[in-house]
Amino acid sequence: MEQPPNIDQLFRERLHHAEVPPPAFVWPRVAEELRRRRRRFFLWLWLGVGLAGAGVWGLWRVNAGHNSLTGAVKTTRETAVHPTPSNRSITGNTSAAAPLPTLAREKSTSNRSITGNTSAAWVLPNEKAKSQAGTQREASAQVFYPVKKQKQFGRQSALHAAPDPLLLPLLTTKDGSSSVITEISPLAYSAAPLTFLPEIKAGLVLLSPAHSLVLPKAKPFVRKKKQPLKNCYNFAQHPRVWLLDAYAGPSLPQRQLTAMQSESDDYLQQRRNTEKTNWAFHAGVRGSLLFGRHFLLRTGAHYEQMTEVFAYGDPNYIRVLTEQTSHLVDGTWKTVLDTISISYGEHYVKTFNRFGMLEIPLLVGAEFRAGRVGVSVQGGASLNVWFWKRGTILDAGGSPQNFTPGQEDASPVFRHRAGWSATASAQLFYHLRPRLRVFAEPYYSHAFRPLTLASQPVAQHYTIWGLKLGLTKIFD
Amino acid sequence: MKSVPSAYISPESQSPFFAIQLLSETDIIRGCLRGSAQSQRLLYERFAGKMYAVCLRYAHTQADAADILQEGFVKVFTKLGQFQFQGSFEGWVRRIMIHTALRMYQRQRFEMEQSGYEHLPESPVEPEALSLLSEGELLKLINGLPGGYRAVFNLVAIEGYSHAEAAELLEIQESTSRSQLTKARRWLAEQLRLLQKEHVVSTTQD
């Protein structure tokens, strides 16, 4: 059921045109918001105007450069001239005996600008008449730089004392002849660099036939290439080169003996007591591809030889000296074994165990240079082969045991191949010559698999530290 | 020279805006279009009271009403160029305020309460009951309505919008608008009846 409509009407009459004074803070907020929006609008407006102006200025500059290039071409054509003896320069460095002529500029009939990119003709006033007479002469050109020779020019020129050289046009009408000759003070050059900036940059060209100085276009700025340092290879020109390293150096192998079973601890201790690392060295050749000026791929052949000392003394050793004698008795040989002597004491055995390992490294690295010195870091994996093993160690029974392969009494103890090693090194090099370096390279290598066979109660690992000292030859 | 007694000088005439208060509405609008801050201030002064009353009817609180008023007037000044000088300028400003208020209502819609006022008994409203209440008390009554009811009641009952227009503005079904208007009326009638009883009791005691 619809509610009687009077409630709508009553509320509408009372509230539709009701007025309630708003809080005082509303208007300041509204005004501030309006001001903020206005500032934002003008900010965007000025930004747009600025961008548009920058665009217009850029287009104007591009067009101006294009026009100046055209003017330069014209100038080049005009200055295709030959030197003559009558050539004179206002710089004073070429004709010191004669008083320097007044530098003047002939206002050409084509209203060429003095400051613009169009060519301006400069003439010597005392020869202007000849030029006006249309005398055909060979043209010559000399380039001089008024700024650099300013002092010299100023001393010798009569215009040096010009009383009012600073005011533009810095050119004063001189002669009374039919053509207008305008002088220019040397001070004018220094006082109005902006006015003569194109001329100062470009230098002036004195033309003999018309004795006019043409202002060539300034040469574009070309950044000079960095001169390569002496005895330093220019890797910038050859970002991909081959490096051949030859090196040798001392090594410090660290042997880790690990008992495979707990029962082998005594044997492990005997091994540790009887074997000591003696000395080691390495040598190798390595080829590297240096690409991207800094990145390295290296491989080669690395030989590592380690020597260990096996020293063992058996305190319970008994030496029995026997003599075997054969006698012919009644037509048959009889053998008599006689004990000569029996010695009790310590049996001492000392051998030099040698291990030879060949590694084929596969390394990646990076090289950073600063002049003749540089560093490189590389790392990767190496395939190692223990191709040479010779010596004696204690066996599990506590007796010395020959493990040299190929010998009759040898027992198999070591593998032929240990597998893969992890290798890393850092190289510091110095260029003796552009293509020759010396380097020192500490390195680290760890063989993952033990050198010993799996049947051995004690596993033998190797970690090798070393210092490679060598030479590097660079090939393009 | 005969001096004018100070009692004859109206305080309003001392206001810096006294002179331009005589400007027509069109002149003020044109001044605002030129960016005149004084014209903007004058326009605000002329409509702020009415619009604040509108905002109070739609807003939950006075702070919300002030925010609506501020945002609405900023819209008025920034969109003043769209006014075609056809029809009532006050109606144009009022629509902006209502739209601004409804936009805030849409933002706060999740807070809208849903109450079962349909069970309230129907009772006719005596005209005298409303005459006893001031505009402020009537506004408090409307503010007591749940958000959805208040919006529909303001739009349909006070502003004169149709249910279709209100439904479109509030993004609800037209039937929902009708239902909410009915519930709003019942609720207001009950509140008015209670207020009338209190008024009778207080009058009898006096």
Could you tell me if residue B205 is inside a domain? yes
Per-residue pLDDT for B122 more than 60? no
Could you tell me if residue B7 is inside a domain? no
State the residue range of the domain holding B147: 121-206
Give the pLDDT of residue B195.
76
Residue-level pLDDT, tens digit, chain A, 476 residues:
444 457 788 788 888 788 888 888 889 989 888 888 888 888 888 888 888 888 888 878 777 655 544 433 333 343 333 444 444 433 333 333 344 443 434 443 344 433 333 333 444 444 444 444 444 444 333 444 444 444 444 344 434 444 444 444 433 334 444 344 344 444 444 444 444 444 444 444 444 444 555 666 677 777 766 666 667 788 888 888 999 999 999 999 988 898 888 888 888 888 888 888 888 999 999 999 999 889 999 999 999 999 999 988 877 778 788 888 888 888 888 888 888 888 777 777 888 999 999 999 999 999 998 888 999 999 999 999 888 889 999 888 888 888 988 888 888 888 877 689 999 999 999 999 888 999 999 999 998 888 888 888 899 988 999 999 999 999 88
d(CA A136, CA B5): 103
Q: Identify the domain boundary among B111, B137, B170.
A: B111
Give the pLDDT of residue A70.
40
Pair (B181, B100) in one structural domain: no
Q: Identify the domain boundary among B86, B111, B136.
A: B111
d(CA B68, CA A29): 12
Contacts of A20 in chain B (CB under 8 A): 49, 52-53, 56, 135-136, 139
Give the pLDDT of residue A216.
67
pLDDT band at B128 (very low <50, low <70, confident <90, very high): low
CATH of the domain at B198: 1.10.10.10
Give the pLDDT of residue A274.
87
Could you tell me if residue B116 is inside a domain? no
Give the pLDDT of residue A474.
92
Write the DSSP string, A92-128: SSS--SSPPPPPEEE--TT---SSSSS--EEE-GGGH
Is B40 within 8 Å of A34 when comparing Cβ atoms? yes
Buried b (16+ CB within 10 A) or exposed e, A187-219: bbbbebeebbebbbebbbbbbbbbbbbbbbbbe
Q: Identify the domain boundary among B53, B86, B111.
A: B111
Give the pLDDT of residue B109.
59
Could you tell me if residue B2 is inside a domain? no
d(CA A414, CA A67): 85
Give the pLDDT of residue A436.
92
Pair (B28, B101) in one structural domain: yes
Could you tell me if residue B179 is inside a domain? yes
Pair (B21, B107) in one structural domain: yes
Pair (B82, B159) in one structural domain: no
Pair (B95, B136) in one structural domain: no
- Minimum Cα–Cα distance from A16: chain B residue: B158
Q: Which of A6, A14, A38 sits opposite B138 (nearest CB)?
A: A14
Pair (B129, B90) in one structural domain: no
Pair (B142, B194) in one structural domain: yes
Pair (B103, B21) in one structural domain: yes
Could you tell me if residue B12 is inside a domain? no
Could you tell me if residue B103 is inside a domain? yes
Could you tell me if residue B197 is inside a domain? yes
Pair (B66, B144) in one structural domain: no
Q: Which of A11, A19, A31 sits opposite B49 (nearest CB)?
A: A19
At residue A223, φ and ψ (nearest 5 deg) are -65, 130
- Minimum Cα–Cα distance from A8: chain B residue: B157
Pair (B97, B166) in one structural domain: no
Identify residue A412 by its one-letter amino acid code: P
Pair (B106, B134) in one structural domain: no
Residue with tokens 């090693």: A421
* Contact between residue A258 and residue A451 where contact means Cβ atoms under 8 Å apart: no
- Reported ipTM: 0.74
Q: Which domains does chain A have, with CATH numbers?
A: 78-214 (no CATH), 241-315+349-475 (2.40.160.20)
* A10 shares contact with chain B (CB less than 8 Å): yes
Pair (B141, B179) in one structural domain: yes
User: pTM of the predicted model, to two decimals?
Assistant: 0.38
* Contact between residue A296 and residue A375 where contact means Cβ atoms under 8 Å apart: no
Give the single-character DSSP code of A192: -
CATH of the domain at B91: 1.10.1740.10
What's the number of domains chain B is made of? 2
Burial class (CB in 10 A: 0-12, 13-18, 19+), A237: exposed
Give the pLDDT of residue A89.
37
Packed helices B62-78 and B89-107: angle between N→C axes, nearest 10 degrees: 130
* A28 shares contact with chain B (CB less than 8 Å): no
